[in-house]
Amino acid sequence: MITRATTTAVLLLALTTAASAASPAGRWIATEIGGLPVARGVETTLDLDIEGRVSGKGGCNRYGGSATVGEGSIAFGMMRSTRMACQAPEMDQEVRFHRALARAGGWRADDDRLVLTDAAGGVVAHFLRRR
């Protein structure tokens, strides 16, 4: 027997799932930055919450800041970062990542993938959802 409470719970779950699927909020790991695949063994992450708080690892350093997110649009503010020195693969990827965030003006997302785009619609970075 299906009750009103069961129906309400199913509808709320469906709405929550649809909202999260159509949002860049979440925990992401980069697979491609600035047209290049990420370096083997170098992790670049993007954690974005629904209030626009941003944090993660650029490749070498931890970073944090904010983003303004609209329907299909995104603008990252100034990021603060630790200042460790790392080898070339980590630092090169981190520089590309922060340039990609600065260029980002749009986003597309589904359940497991996030794509950041520039103002002209060109892809600046690809991400997979972290579990």
Query: What is the model's pTM?
Result: 0.82
Question: 5 lies in a domain?
Answer: no
Question: 14 lies in a domain?
Answer: no
Domain that holds residue 32: 23-129
Question: 82 lies in a domain?
Answer: yes
The pLDDT, as a whole number, for residue 111 is 83
Strand, coil or helix: 53: strand
Question: 108 lies in a domain?
Answer: yes
Question: 69 lies in a domain?
Answer: yes
Tens-level pLDDT at each residue, the chain (131 residues): 565 554 444 333 333 343 445 799 999 999 999 999 999 999 999 999 999 999 999 999 999 999 999 999 999 999 999 999 999 999 999 999 999 999 999 999 988 999 999 999 999 999 999 98
- How distant is the alpha carbon of residue 108 from its chain centre? 10
Question: 107 lies in a domain?
Answer: yes
The pLDDT, as a whole number, for residue 89 is 95
Calpha distance 46→8 (Å, rounded):
33
DSSP assignment letter at 71: T
CATH number, domain containing residue 108: 2.40.128.270
